């Protein structure tokens, strides 16, 4: 990393003496060298950047991304996923275990950690709850934790066996592990393709009601209370889910949750054109649900925003809506979407930088002399276009391809490396 001097940036590093102030930041050899009201360039080889109107914050952290490898490298491999993450301002990513083979033993965990060591973006494996994601037997939870798994989930395969989920919550308490629950009652969701309601009736498609999500949130809250265990809900999508978690937090339960960025700004009405790039799971719901999710972010009910990055080859998406795969690529579009949703820069940093790491008991990057420079410099007002030239993912299944987006991660830095546009 070159010596970099950032002039007049707005600092949003929690705990910094310069928090919410405009100052200069000097980065040398990948470390914070100085933070002051005004710093002169130490030499001709210093890269000086005008930071007026730009935010300097801890690098973003994504709690939910699918990076494909091992086994699905044609969708995304660890290198391309890391590149897309860096372009989106992320210096840390928790990668989901829905790979081939699944991440259900220490071998897969070690493979991901060793393969990604040299990347700018830190890759943290999430291990499976159940062996082979089958929902029958517990996977090697403790061994995976020792190998470096930061949490446990079966991805978008909900754990239907209540006894298994209860045992998983109880078991991980022994080593302060965390279960990530994808809440969906498959017997209610059935073969639904979108949100159940007026729009699904109008389009003649089978729907997935919010009830499918809310039933499992209720179940897992009961299990967490019974076992006095932590629980984290991934990608909640309905107003009812927000209410359930809000009440659970008031009761003192150890519950956290996140929401996918696209659920904040999109609703079921965009499906009228049958564009399969809008087909996600949980499905896009109503505008009232989106409003409730935003309110949940503002009042602290929802702890984090995630990308739910789910890349697919063209043959999985350029087909009829009914048979298209669920998911969109999202690592590069999280920032523009949360800005479009109306989140303030301070709230963005809380939901994208601070809380995700706190949920996983990972340290939040600090702005102190001598500390490793783990940061993102982003411009809330800068516009850019997501296209084949700017897309860093191996896949392009995003409804935002070819559109102008406002909000850009200009520079991402970590481990002595820098990505800049």
CA distances from 17 to 5, 28, 35, 246 (A): 18, 20, 9, 32
Give, for 24, the enclosing helix (H) or strand (E).
strand 22-28
Q: What is the pTM of this model?
A: 0.96
pLDDT tens digits along 126-165: 999 999 999 999 999 999 999 999 999 999 999 999 999 9
Query: Are 299 and 193 in the same domain?
Result: yes
Distance of CA 110 to the CA centre of its chain: 22
Q: What is the pLDDT of residue 217?
A: 98
Interatomic CA distance for residues 86 and 75, integer angstroms: 18
Q: What is the pLDDT of residue 1?
A: 63
Which domain range does residue 406 map to? Answer: 4-56+368-420
DSSP result, 262-282: HHHH--GGGGGG--GGG--SS
When pLDDT is cut at 50, 70 and 90, the band that residue 45 belongs to is: confident
Tell which phi-psi region holds residue 289, choosing left (phi > 0), alpha (psi between -120 and 50) or beta. alpha
Query: Are 298 and 344 in the same domain?
Result: yes
Closest CA to 282 of 181, 162, 140: 181
Percent over 90 (pLDDT), the chain:
97
pLDDT tens digits along 359-403: 999 999 999 999 999 999 999 999 999 999 999 999 999 999 999
Q: How many CA atoms lie within 13 A of 128 on its CB side?
A: 25
- What are the backbone angles phi and psi of residue 233, rounded to the nearest 5°? -100, 130
Q: What is the pLDDT of residue 221?
A: 98
Burial class (CB in 10 A: 0-12, 13-18, 19+), 300: exposed
Query: Are 163 and 230 in the same domain?
Result: yes
- 44 pLDDT above the threshold of 80: no
Mean predicted lDDT score pLDDT of the chain = 97
Per-residue pLDDT, averaged over 3-16, amounts to 96
Do 228 and 297 meet the contact criterion of CB atoms below 8 Å apart?
A: no
Collect all residues with Cβ–Cβ distance below 8 Å to 124 and sequence separation of at least 6. 92, 93, 94, 95, 148, 150, 360, 362
CATH number, domain with residue 283: 3.20.20.140
Per-residue pLDDT, averaged over 340-360, amounts to 98
Query: Are 255 and 286 in the same domain?
Result: yes
Query: Are 21 and 100 in the same domain?
Result: no
Q: What is the pLDDT of residue 338?
A: 98
Per-residue pLDDT, averaged over 290-308, amounts to 98
Interatomic CA distance for residues 346 and 2, integer angstroms: 28
Domain end position, chosen among 340, 359, 378: 359
When pLDDT is cut at 50, 70 and 90, the band that residue 2 belongs to is: confident
CATH number, domain with residue 411: 2.30.40.10
Distance of CA 313 to the CA centre of its chain: 21
Query: Are 300 and 382 in the same domain?
Result: no
Per-residue pLDDT, averaged over 218-243, amounts to 98
Query: Are 16 and 153 in the same domain?
Result: no
Query: Are 36 and 93 in the same domain?
Result: no
Interatomic CA distance for residues 351 and 362, integer angstroms: 14
Query: Are 253 and 293 in the same domain?
Result: yes
Query: Are 408 and 340 in the same domain?
Result: no
Per-residue pLDDT, averaged over 267-296, amounts to 97
Per-residue pLDDT, averaged over 163-171, amounts to 98
Closest CA to 157 of 231, 258, 234, 261: 234
When pLDDT is cut at 50, 70 and 90, the band that residue 189 belongs to is: very high
Do 77 and 68 meet the contact criterion of CB atoms below 8 Å apart?
A: yes
Query: Are 148 and 258 in the same domain?
Result: yes
Number of domains the chain contains = 2
Interatomic CA distance for residues 307 and 336, integer angstroms: 11
Q: Which range has the worst mean pLDDT, 2-6, 98-102, 272-276?
A: 2-6
Three-state DSSP state, 50: strand
- 43 pLDDT above the threshold of 90: no
Domain end position, chosen among 329, 359, 389: 359
Domain end position, chosen among 359, 376, 401: 359
Give, for 34, the enclosing helix (H) or strand (E).
strand 31-36
Query: Are 345 and 374 in the same domain?
Result: no
């Amino acid at each position: 990393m070159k010596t970099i001097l950032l002039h007049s940036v707005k600092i949003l590093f929690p705990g910094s003496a310069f928090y919410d102030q405009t100052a200069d930041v000097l980065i040398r050899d990948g470390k914070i060298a100085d933070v002051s009201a005004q710093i002169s360039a130490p030499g001709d080889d210093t890269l000086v950047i005008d930071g007026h109107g730009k935010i300097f914050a801890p690098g973003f952290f994504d709690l939910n991304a699918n990076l494909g490898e091992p086994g699905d490298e044609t969708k995304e491999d660890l290198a391309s996923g890391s590149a897309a993450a860096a372009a989106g301002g992320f210096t840390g990513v928790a990668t989901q275990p829905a790979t081939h083979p699944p991440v259900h033993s220490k071998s897969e965990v070690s493979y991901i950690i060793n393969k990604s060591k040299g990347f700018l973006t830190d890759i943290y494996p999430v291990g499976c709850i159940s062996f082979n994601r089958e929902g029958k037997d517990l996977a090697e939870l403790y061994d995976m934790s020792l190998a470096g798994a930061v949490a446990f989930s079966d991805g978008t395969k909900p754990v239907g066996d209540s006894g298994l989920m209860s045992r998983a919550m109880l078991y991980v308490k022994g080593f302060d592990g965390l279960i990530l629950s994808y809440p969906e009652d498959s017997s209610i969701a059935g073969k639904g393709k979108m949100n159940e309601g007026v729009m699904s009736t109008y389009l003649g498609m089978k729907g997935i009601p919010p009830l499918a999500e809310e039933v499992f949130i209720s179940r897992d809250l009961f299990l967490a209370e019974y076992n006095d265990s932590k629980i984290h809900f991934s990608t909640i999508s309905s107003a009812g889910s927000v209410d359930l978690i809000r009440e659970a937090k008031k009761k003192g339960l150890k519950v956290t949750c996140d929401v996918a960025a696209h659920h904040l700004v999109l609703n079921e009405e965009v499906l009228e054109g049958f564009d399969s790039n809008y087909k996600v799971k949980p499905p896009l719901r109503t505008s009232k649900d989106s409003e409730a999710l935003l309110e949940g972010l503002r009042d602290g009910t929802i702890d984090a925003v995630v990308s739910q990055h789910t890349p697919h080859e063209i043959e999985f998406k350029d087909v009829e809506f009914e048979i298209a795969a669920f998911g969109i690529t999202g690592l590069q579009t999280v920032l523009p979407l949360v800005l479009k949703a109306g989140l303030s820069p301070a709230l963005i940093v809380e939901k994208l930088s601070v809380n995700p790491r706190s949920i996983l008991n990972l340290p939040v990057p600090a702005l102190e002399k001598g500390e490793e420079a783990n940061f993102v410099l982003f411009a809330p007002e800068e516009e850019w276009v997501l296209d084949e030239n700017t897309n860093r993912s191996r896949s392009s299944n995003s409804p935002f391809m070819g559109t102008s987006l406002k909000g850009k991660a200009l520079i991402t830095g970590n481990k002595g490396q820098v990505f800049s546009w």
